[in-house]
A = this chain, B = another copy of it.
Amino acid sequence: MAVTIREVASAAGVSISTVSRAFTAPDQVGERTLQRILEAATRLGYSPNPAARSLRGGRTGTLGLVIPDIANPFFPPIFKAMQARARRQGYTLLVADSDEREADEIETIAAVVKKVDGLLLWASTLPDDRLVELSRQVPLVLGNRHVDGISEVHVSLAAGLTQAAEHLRAYGHRRCVFVDGSRPELSRGKSIRESFAAHDLALIELGPYEPRFETGVHAATLVAANEATAVVAHNDLVALGILHQLSRLGIDVPGRVSVIGIDDTLLATTATPSLTTIRISAEEIATKAGDLLAETVADPDQPARKVEIGSRLIPRASTGPAAA
């Protein structure tokens, strides 16, 4: 076993409580004593045993993040930003991938829930009542999912989509396609319909499909057939599928068709042409979700709150003037 508080105590010639305090409430310990303890601790290579701490204090010092698919490039930046934030607040972040399947998600949550002080569940597929139940078991915050009585961070695409509409309109586009790849519950369709209608842009909706590259490949042909001059895709991945197929069909982007993605992932920056897309800031998610979670952990009985995450258009090379 590793070195314990007791050995530090005897090395420093104090009691174990004083050593404990030296780590949890240094200001309650005498100047010189503190020095001696810290010195002894470093020399012996002591660091507190988290298991004992948790057992005693009921706090684990870790926050949980459950996401549907870390291979979706939308999530790694969130992971990073949340980890950085958690660490600054003295927490370790435990990230688990639920593989986008309900059964796996249940298992994932079960594996994690007893090891964390609070949980952020992104785009959960679980039924409302299970989430309500879970929220009684652990401080809980939902991402992109609404359940009455549970705090939530919600990504709003409204701002970004409005900017996209303005952008396309300014370039003279009139007829656009939206490739929907959502689960119906959280369809991005409604939001885009409103924004585009407000800017007098005709919108043809395709789908819903799965949000995959192949979906874009398939949809590209339909875009051409619909005589639209611009497409908004469900996300960057789908947009890349569109770009890919358009290129094979010899349809120039943005010369004949403009393409817009959503999420501003690595895929958008590295695409050819680079992809105009709607950015959702990982830092903003981490900050707001992290704060909300921290507050929920601190006071689990406060009323549920809803926090909005904004979005904005990042114009790049895949959009341009409408073809004549």
Judged by a CB distance under 8 angstroms, whether A213 is at the interface is yes
Does A95 belong to the interface (CB within 8 Å)?
yes
Give A150 Cβ to nearest chain B Cβ, in Å. Answer: 19
Chain B residues near A1 (CB-CB < 8 A): 58
Smallest distance from the beta carbon of A42 to chain B beta carbons, Å?
13
Copies in the complex: 2
Residues in B whose Cβ lies below 8 Å from that of A266: 71, 73, 267
Q: Evaluate contact between B52 and A55: CB separation under 8 angstroms.
A: yes
Q: Is the CB of B71 within 8 A of A114?
A: no
User: Which residues, 230 to 271 on A, are CB-close (under 8 Å) to B?
Assistant: 237, 240-241, 243-244, 247, 266-267, 269-271
A76 within 8 A of B: yes
Q: Do B237 and A270 touch (CB < 8 A)?
A: yes
A241 and B270 in contact, given A2-B137, A97-B83, A115-B50 (Cβ under 8 angstroms)? yes
Residue of B nearest to A79 (CB): B70
Q: Is A47's beta carbon under 8 Å from chain B?
A: yes
Residue A87 CB within 8 A of the other chain: yes
B70 touches A76 (CB 8 A): yes
Q: Which residues of B contact A50 (CB under 8 A)?
A: 114-115
Inside 8 A of A110's CB, which chain B residues have their CB? 47
CB under 8 Å from chain B, chain A span 176-216: 213
Contact of A270 among B52, B115, B244, B274 (CB under 8 A): B244
Q: Which residues of B contact A111 (CB under 8 A)?
A: 87, 92
Which parts of A152-166 form the interface with B (CB within 8 Å)? none
In the assembled complex, 7 residue pairs joining A and B whose CB atoms fall closer than 8 Å, in A order, are A2-B114, A49-B55, A51-B52, A71-B73, A80-B99, A84-B99, A87-B111
A residues engaging B (CB < 8 A)? 1-2, 47-52, 54-55, 58, 60, 62, 69-71, 73, 76-77, 79-80, 83-84, 87, 92-97, 99, 107, 110-112, 114-115, 137, 213, 237, 240-241, 243-244, 247, 266-267, 269-274
**Contact between B269 and A267 (Cβ–Cβ < 8 Å)?**
no
- Whose C-beta in chain B lies nearest to the C-beta of A84? B99
Further pairs besides A247-B273, A267-B270: 6, Cβ < 8 Å:
A55-B55, A69-B80, A71-B76, A71-B77, A87-B107, A92-B111
Q: How far is the CA of A49 from the CA of B79 in the complex (A)?
A: 26
Bound-state CA distance A80–B97 (Å) is: 7
Chain B residues whose C-beta falls within 8 Å of the C-beta of A69 in the assembled complex: 80
Which B residue sits closest to A51, measured CB to CB?
Answer: B54
Check B55 against A270 for contact (C-beta < 8 Å).
Answer: no
Residues of B within 8 A of A240 (CB): 270, 272
**Which B-chain residue is minimally distant from A57 (CB atoms)?**
B51
